[in-house]
Structure 1
Amino acid sequence: MLHRLSLKAIGGQAAEWMNEPASMVKETAVTRSTVTTQSFKTTLIILILGFLLGRSVILFELVPFVIPFLAVICKWRRSYTLAAGLALIAGSATVSFVFAGFTVVAILFYLLFQGISNTFFEQQRFIPIVVLASVTVARFLGLLVTEGYSIYHLLTAAIEGGLAMIVTMIFFQSVPLILEKKKKLTLKSEEIICLVILLASLMTGTVGWLIFQLSVEQIVARYVVLIFAFVGGAAIGSTVGVVTGLILSLANVANLFYMSLLAFSGLLGGLLKEGKKISVALGLIIATLLMGMYADNQVPMQYSLYESLVAIALFMITPKKWTSELSKFIPGTMEHSQEQQQYLRKIRDVTAGKVEQFSNLFLSLSKSFSLLETGGEKSNREREVDLFLSRVTEQTCQTCMKKHHCWTKKFDETYGLMEQLMDEYEEEGEIKNRQLIANWRQHCVIDERVISIMKKELNQHYASMQLKQQLIESRRLVADQLKGVSKVMEDFAKDIQREKKAHEKQESEIMDAIQNAGIDVDNVDVYSLETGSVDIEITLPSNDYNEGEKIVAPLLSDILNETVIVKHVEPSSLTGSESRITLGSTKAFVVREGVAHAAKGGRLVSGDSYSTMELGAGKYAIAISDGMGNGTRAHIESQETIGLLKNILRSGIEETVAIKSINSILSLRSEDEVFSTLDLAMIDLQDGLVKFLKVGSIPSYVKRGDKVKAVEAGNLPIGIIQEMDVDVVTEALKAGDLLIMMSDGIYEAPTVAENKDVWLKRVIKEIETEDPQEIADILMERVIRESGNEIHDDMTVIVAKLDHHLPKWATISIPYEKRA
């Protein structure tokens, strides 16, 4: 049976091995077929381009397009050089054998000079110079042989070489755009002009071709102008018309008239592009009729009109897919904007994906550090006891003659007594239990030596445990920090992926409401309508009188039933007066605070530090830290605690993680026993909820009307222990409530009060004013007076009042018809 299974497995594996090459051969064949097809298409395009450019003659005797095209093909794809050369020679031969001979000589000189140039230089920048030299030498030698030497012939050769050098630089920009499949996001203006020059150069190759007495180059030229006017507008259309007409006029002086016709038709077609193809075609007909009636041309108007109609027919049957693809490359078109947005969306998604990967990485690292601490306190304790007792027995029991008796026959009794001795010494510092000592002396023959070694090892054990605890705390700090960073990066990834949702109906209603208010609005984009996180962008023709703040924001506040304010205003364009206004939800509450501060004995340096800050997520933080003792050292400790807290909270890390991180940092930073307290209140400005995080601090008080409530939590000061759990107390505040936070200098100052909590509640209740700064000053003055007009400790009191946010402008109710 086993033999059959083995043979079956081997057979299956062999079948897979045999099938794998077949699939690979099939894929290779498909790939080769694709490459062959692509190579055939490229070769065909090069043959057509070379043939037309070989026929392109300007000023009756100059052919400046031949060698530049060959140079570009030779540099771009050397394997197609032979095909390009043969196509150029064939095209020149259709004009005359003289031009064909010149083409052959020029190609030979170019290959010779290019070979010499590659020997010394490899840079592409020397190719136009090689083209200049080869064309000039070839033309001058041809004229020298046929007509003899003259300055005119030398000047003609130099002019043709200069034109060829310029055309080479143009073709290096335009030829790859036709031959390569590389997807570009946009075309520069220079690249568009170079592409048009290439197309016009190809049109010169059709000069003299007639179909029913209609000029092929004129039909193609007008068709190209129609395409670019329809895609790019008036600027692109007129530019293409001027460049095309100029190149064609150089090929045939009779075409000089058509430069005006092409430029005018490109301008009219671009201006009328909003009316689709019909309007663009109408622009060409109007230009043809005007130029035919008022211009002196050598072609009858009816033939010119027929040429325009044929170009229009070709334009009408051009697939929309072609024009849409071309539009993606022309700046300023809607298709180009959509392509740019799609590209930016892809970049955004890739960036957000990378950020999410980093977030997962940091979260995994945090979990790996946390796993190092798992295992349970009981198992860790047993392991530490085993290690400790093994070190003691190595120095005592290993040399004892009764080792076998104690650790083999009476293992449990020996281990239990030694563990009791260890616990006794850890708890009392000495072994005071006489019964335990008696039992040990009766059990062990070297009892005193064991106790002595145990005392010695315990001291080393304590030092080792302290180092291990610091290592554990370091791991915990790293784990907490990594977890906090992971959360921040996760939120950041979500912010990156924030995308405009479909709110067409709401956008239409908002636009109608603003227009009914008498304000023109160009555009409305709604990104979010969630309560508390409204995000809307509008574009106004002008914002000279702050219409966005005075009218639009109050109007949106009435429509959305929540306060909306102007967040940001920026100009929509550099030339116009349009303004883009960003509107969003404002906080439902505002906080006004008052602070009173005094150092011990009236000194300048206080051990207390405090801070009030508004965080980006609609939260307001109030923090007080009291360093141990007084003076400079206490001030440095408390200031360091507040500074760390501010930086960590602003980074977006959760407040409990922030406090644990600060505790770990301060406990590991110094060996001195210098501690500090921290009293933190995080106020949510949207719903009024307050989170109190008290670490070694005294109670805070909330006053609502004539009622005073104490808020307290039990946590040791920061830095006093490595591992701590932060108790969070949550209270709901209302508008008009007062929050009083203070350091222990205020709480413990009144010496006459037996119950300081009751005394402070009574004092706070008796204060009649509701101004936060006045309350803080009154409370500080009352405490100092009750202390015999002396400041026995550093004192800090912060009073915060929560009020409703009142917008600067009242809401506006304008009736508007809601769309179904």
Structure 2
Amino acid sequence: MIQKYGNAAAGTADSYMTKERTIQQKTKGERSFQTFLLGIFFRTDLFFLAAGFLLGRAVIITSLTPFVLPFFATVFWMKRRRRWADSIAVLAGGLTLSVGQAFYALLGLLIFLAARRIVMIFHPAHEDRWLPVLVFVSGFTVRLLCQAAFTLNLVWTDVLTAGAEASLSVLVTLIFLQSVPLMSTRVNHKLFRNEEIICFVILISSVLAGTIGWHMYMLSVDHVLARYAVLLFAYAGGAAIGSTVGVVIGLILGLASVTSLYQMSLLAFSGVLGGLLKESGKAGVAGGLLIATLLIGVYGNGYAGLSNEFADSAAALLLFLLTPKRFIRQMASFIPGTREYQAEQQLYVRKLRDVTVGRVEQFSGLFQSLAKSFYPPVEEEASDDDLFLSKVTARTCQNCFKKESCWVKNFDQTQQLMLELREEARTGGSKEDRVQLYRRWREHCSKADKTVEAIRKEQGLSELQEKMRRNVQESRRLVADQLKGVSQVMGDFANEMKRERGLHEWQEEMILSRLNGIGLRVESIEIYNLETGAIDIEAMLPNDQYGACEKVIAPLLSDILGESIVVEKKQASDLPGGPSRVVFISARAYDLETGVATAARGGGLVSGDNYSLFEIGSKKCVLAISDGMGHGERAAMESQDTLQLLKKVLKSGIHETLAIKSINSILSLRSTEEIYATLDLALIDLQNATSKFLKIGSNPSFIKRGGRVFMLDSGNLPIGIIRDFNIDVKAEQLKSGDLLIMMSDGIFEAPKHIENKEVWVKRKIKEMQTNDPQEIADLLLEEVIRVGDGRINDDMTVIVARISHHIPEWSSFSSEGSAKHFSKAE
């Protein structure tokens, strides 16, 4: 089952990836073509000129014109270079309607500019905040002035009309501030919100209101363009977007012309039907408009006007069929919820991931280069005897009268004697050799005491400089190791980021259908990884009050995927009655049960031994014992610091060998006191039972397998005692039922009268009649204390771990009702 599942999944993923690459290649060409057309349209200002002209003609409720001042305010707020040309277009549009409309637009422009100049003097910043207020004041004033100029009489209804128009202008201003900048070429391609889409539709509807009254033969231009817009949005965004656009356009056209109020029903219905039939292509969307025209057209003008309605719909359909699909796909990429929109999101996330991976890889390479530069150069140790002798002779022989005799005639003898004096100052020697050397030197040199003193002083300085040099080299090596470890971690992180989330749509649908087939209500399934041993699946389902996740879903997934699946995390919804989020992962192949027994020296409360049991990721377990030198609080602090450093470094992802070396360098450099710590470390992979053992100055560990007990040992010195050492890592393949026993020196060396302690410990472990780790740890500690006559002369710690095959809590099962469906899909 799982092999066929994997093969089918691979084939589906390959075909999907090939299809995605083809779509991406096409999308690049389409985007360039679309950008070219839009660039021509916007660079020549055709959109703003046409929009200004039509908005200057747009009138709603017979006399209100709430679009002129918002358009002025928007283009001046955008600080367009051609804002005066756009303003003239508005005046021209109003003039085609009537002289009064043109006068209203001109007067509104002048009053708005004057009020804007006054406000800019006192509040030059945050123009968008006071712009709606400015539009309200200007609109209210202009309407009253126009009413007074044309009628020479003002009544309270005129004031109410002016207030209503000004309030509506404020709302339109807020909408234009959101939608008009979207049509500017200075705005890059982005993913728009639903609110921005609706504002843009309102802008289009306002522009279409300016076409009311235009006719071309038997066709109404406003009806044709409105239905064409609904067809585009229904085909691009589906039923929800199509119906919304139909309602908005129909409402505004209805306000502009009461005779067109029924158009709202026709447009909304055609948007719904076209969106529902969009999977059938353009033909389905066209069919939706024809059905809506037939049903709603009869309702509007009766059978007499049905021919005109069909003519308008036919013209809109012709425009729709002539529209390239690339343009519609480009529209769909701006609408939330569409496939094109999701593709844009995935493309953005992929680009962001690629940029992040590139930066992480750059930092990884930088740290790698820094690590190489910090490593001390490998140089052959050259003799510094010449430099040493030159410093000594500069103080003693430079002004001596026997200089020529010593360094010209007897050069070899003088040099040999001074080097012997240096060696004696460095290492010391027997009293007789020292007396004889001094006697020979006094016979040779006239300033013997002064020269000996100079040699001793210079040797002391030389040893101090050598020690400082070694410290600097060790510090550089520590920094280099840390930088190398960080470089490795960042490189691994970059490689993990490169792995995209798999395309598992087919598998998700199959699993979801199988779960629903047995009566489980699961809202969604998302697969993040299907690799064997690293499966990661997330499910959303209603509140799980009866443990269906552990009892039903995990066993069923185990049967589907061919390996044991367990629940890693279950998170309830914050909202009452909301769905729960459950994460399913691959179960461990092995389980590890541990037991620990400890005792402080003399039965005290503070032990110099410390232990740590923790996990790295979800598949590796770490067991560690550290014994600080001596006993008491200082030893406890030293061993505890060692384990804390080990835990943090290993969890960061740095390799265990490099982690041990880094800890050794830190502990050896941070103090000059002879305070050391041992470390006994075991890393066990619970997926395949492989284990690594690192022993730094620690005692042997023992593995009990059936009736045999064998020992693991290493000869590394304790941490901090030397600065440069090689770590001996031993690997061992464990088996189910094996017992691992780790102990500190308090346990291993407690029996003083026993010569071969390894044999004694092996025999005691072999004689244990139980396999419980905690019981073995307690019995072993008790036996050691009993052998020592009840005295605890050192801190004692023993860790016992038993590895065993993982046994699922619930057995997997298959559902026959959905297995047939699975076999068909496979």
> Same fold per TM (> 0.5)?
yes
Secondary structure of the 1:378 match is coil
More moved, 113-122 vs 37-46? 37-46
1:142: which partner in 2? Answer: 146
1:392: which partner in 2? Answer: 392
2:733: which partner in 1? Answer: 732
User: Which of 295, 298, 306 is matched with 1:293 structurally?
Assistant: 298
Matched letter for residue 637 of structure 2: I
Matched letter for residue 216 of structure 1: V
1:282: which partner in 2? Answer: 287
1:785-800 map, 5 Å: 785-800=786-801
CA distance, structure 1, for counterparts of residue 368 and residue 411 of structure 2: 46
1:334 lines up with 2:372 in the alignment: no
Change in CA separation of 1:675 and 1:542 when aligned onto 2, cut-off 3 Å: closer
TM-score by length of 1: 0.88
More moved, 215-224 vs 109-118? 109-118
Matched letter for residue 476 of structure 1: R
Change in CA separation of 1:39 and 1:111 when aligned onto 2, cut-off 3 Å: farther
Change in CA separation of 1:632 and 1:580 when aligned onto 2, cut-off 3 Å: closer
1:301-380 map, 5 Å: 301-370=306-375, 373-376=376-379, 378-379=381-382
CA distance, structure 1, for counterparts of residue 307 and residue 790 of structure 2: 111
1:109 lines up with 2:114 in the alignment: no
1:145-164 map, 5 Å: 145-151=149-155, 152-164=157-169
1:63 lines up with 2:65 in the alignment: yes
CA distance, structure 1, for counterparts of residue 336 and residue 386 of structure 2: 77
CA distance, structure 1, for counterparts of residue 725 and residue 284 of structure 2: 77
Change in CA separation of 1:656 and 1:71 when aligned onto 2, cut-off 3 Å: same
CA distance, structure 1, for counterparts of residue 784 and residue 339 of structure 2: 71
Matched letter for residue 375 of structure 1: V
Matched letter for residue 681 of structure 2: L
1:698 lines up with 2:699 in the alignment: yes
1:763 lines up with 2:764 in the alignment: yes
Could you report, residue by residue, the CA deviation over 1:332-361 in whole angstroms, capped at 9, with x for unpaired residues? 112111211221121122222222222222
More moved, 570-579 vs 588-597? 570-579
Change in CA separation of 1:150 and 1:560 when aligned onto 2, cut-off 3 Å: closer
Matched letter for residue 433 of structure 1: D
1:652: which partner in 2? Answer: 653
1:679: which partner in 2? Answer: 680
2:29: which partner in 1? Answer: none
Given that 2:773 and 2:801 are in contact with CA atoms closer than 8 Å, whether structure 1 keeps it comes out as: yes
Given that 1:424 and 1:431 are in contact with CA atoms closer than 8 Å, whether structure 2 keeps it comes out as: no
Given that 2:543 and 2:572 are in contact with CA atoms closer than 8 Å, whether structure 1 keeps it comes out as: no
Matched letter for residue 497 of structure 2: I
Matched letter for residue 89 of structure 2: A
Given that 1:254 and 1:298 are in contact with CA atoms closer than 8 Å, whether structure 2 keeps it comes out as: no
Given that 1:272 and 1:283 are in contact with CA atoms closer than 8 Å, whether structure 2 keeps it comes out as: yes
2:50: which partner in 1? Answer: 48
TM-score by length of 2: 0.87
Matched letter for residue 603 of structure 1: G
CA distance, structure 2, for counterparts of residue 126 and residue 558 of structure 1: 65
Change in CA separation of 1:363 and 1:416 when aligned onto 2, cut-off 3 Å: farther
User: Which of 221, 224, 227 is matched with 2:226 structurally?
Assistant: 221
Q: CA deviation at 1:787?
A: 0.7
Q: CA deviation at 1:783?
A: 0.8
Q: CA deviation at 1:203?
A: 0.7
Matched letter for residue 103 of structure 2: G
1:438-477 map, 5 Å: 440-441=441-442, 443-477=444-478
2:15: which partner in 1? Answer: none
Given that 2:70 and 2:170 are in contact with CA atoms closer than 8 Å, whether structure 1 keeps it comes out as: yes
Matched letter for residue 587 of structure 1: R
Q: CA deviation at 1:111?
A: 2.2
Q: CA deviation at 1:386?
A: 4.8
Task: Give structure 2 stretches of 5+ with no counterpart.
Answer: 1-35
Q: CA deviation at 1:686?
A: 1.9
1:126-205 map, 5 Å: 126-151=130-155, 152-180=157-185, 182-205=187-210
Matched letter for residue 653 of structure 1: I
Q: CA deviation at 1:505?
A: 7.8
Matched letter for residue 135 of structure 2: V
Given that 1:499 and 1:527 are in contact with CA atoms closer than 8 Å, whether structure 2 keeps it comes out as: no
CA distance, structure 1, for counterparts of residue 38 and residue 786 of structure 2: 99
CA distance, structure 2, for counterparts of residue 723 and residue 275 of structure 1: 74
Could you report, residue by residue, the CA deviation over 1:460-481 in whole angstroms, capped at 9, with x for unpaired residues? 3333333333322222222222
Given that 1:74 and 1:80 are in contact with CA atoms closer than 8 Å, whether structure 2 keeps it comes out as: no
Secondary structure of the 2:82 match is helix
1:537-548 map, 5 Å: none
Change in CA separation of 1:88 and 1:693 when aligned onto 2, cut-off 3 Å: same
Q: CA deviation at 1:605?
A: 1.2
More moved, 762-771 vs 99-108? 99-108
Change in CA separation of 1:183 and 1:436 when aligned onto 2, cut-off 3 Å: same
Matched letter for residue 481 of structure 1: Q
Given that 2:238 and 2:278 are in contact with CA atoms closer than 8 Å, whether structure 1 keeps it comes out as: yes
Q: CA deviation at 1:597?
A: 0.7
User: Which of 231, 235, 242 is matched with 1:230 structurally?
Assistant: 235
Change in CA separation of 1:390 and 1:502 when aligned onto 2, cut-off 3 Å: farther
Change in CA separation of 1:192 and 1:527 when aligned onto 2, cut-off 3 Å: closer
2:98: which partner in 1? Answer: 96
1:255 lines up with 2:257 in the alignment: no
CA distance, structure 1, for counterparts of residue 93 and residue 570 of structure 2: 61
Q: CA deviation at 1:278?
A: 3.0
Q: CA deviation at 1:148?
A: 0.6
| Identity score, percent | 50
Given that 1:752 and 1:786 are in contact with CA atoms closer than 8 Å, whether structure 2 keeps it comes out as: no
1:623: which partner in 2? Answer: 624
More moved, 698-707 vs 229-238? 229-238
Instruction: Compare relative contact order (CA 8 Å, sep 6+) and give the higher one, 1 or 2.
Output: 2
Change in CA separation of 1:291 and 1:542 when aligned onto 2, cut-off 3 Å: farther
CA distance, structure 2, for counterparts of residue 411 and residue 527 of structure 1: 81
Could you report, residue by residue, the CA deviation over 1:773-820 in whole angstroms, capped at 9, with x for unpaired residues? 111111111111111111111111111111111122224467764878
Q: CA deviation at 1:617?
A: 5.4
Secondary structure of the 1:58 match is coil
2:272: which partner in 1? Answer: 267
Q: CA deviation at 1:512?
A: 8.3
1:24: which partner in 2? Answer: none
CA distance, structure 2, for counterparts of residue 251 and residue 504 of structure 1: 48
CA distance, structure 1, for counterparts of residue 164 and residue 153 of structure 2: 16
Matched letter for residue 393 of structure 1: T
Given that 1:203 and 1:220 are in contact with CA atoms closer than 8 Å, whether structure 2 keeps it comes out as: yes
Could you report, residue by residue, the CA deviation over 1:43-86 in whole angstroms, capped at 9, with x for unpaired residues? 22222111111111222233222222122122213311121122
Secondary structure of the 1:694 match is strand
Change in CA separation of 1:257 and 1:518 when aligned onto 2, cut-off 3 Å: closer
CA distance, structure 1, for counterparts of residue 676 and residue 789 of structure 2: 29
Could you report, residue by residue, the CA deviation over 1:544-589 in whole angstroms, capped at 9, with x for unpaired residues? 7655544554455456554333334568998998776544332221
CA distance, structure 2, for counterparts of residue 509 and residue 110 of structure 1: 63
Given that 1:623 and 1:678 are in contact with CA atoms closer than 8 Å, whether structure 2 keeps it comes out as: yes
How large is the Cα RMSD of the aligned pairs? 3.2
CA distance, structure 2, for counterparts of residue 158 and residue 518 of structure 1: 60
Q: CA deviation at 1:430?
A: 7.3
Change in CA separation of 1:62 and 1:108 when aligned onto 2, cut-off 3 Å: same
2:424: which partner in 1? Answer: 424
Given that 1:505 and 1:819 are in contact with CA atoms closer than 8 Å, whether structure 2 keeps it comes out as: no
Given that 1:421 and 1:431 are in contact with CA atoms closer than 8 Å, whether structure 2 keeps it comes out as: no
Given that 2:147 and 2:154 are in contact with CA atoms closer than 8 Å, whether structure 1 keeps it comes out as: no
Could you report, residue by residue, the CA deviation over 1:10-49 in whole angstroms, capped at 9, with x for unpaired residues? xxxxxxxxxxxxxxxxxxxxxxxx9997597342222211
Change in CA separation of 1:145 and 1:518 when aligned onto 2, cut-off 3 Å: closer
Q: CA deviation at 1:213?
A: 2.4
Change in CA separation of 1:317 and 1:561 when aligned onto 2, cut-off 3 Å: same
Given that 2:608 and 2:635 are in contact with CA atoms closer than 8 Å, whether structure 1 keeps it comes out as: yes
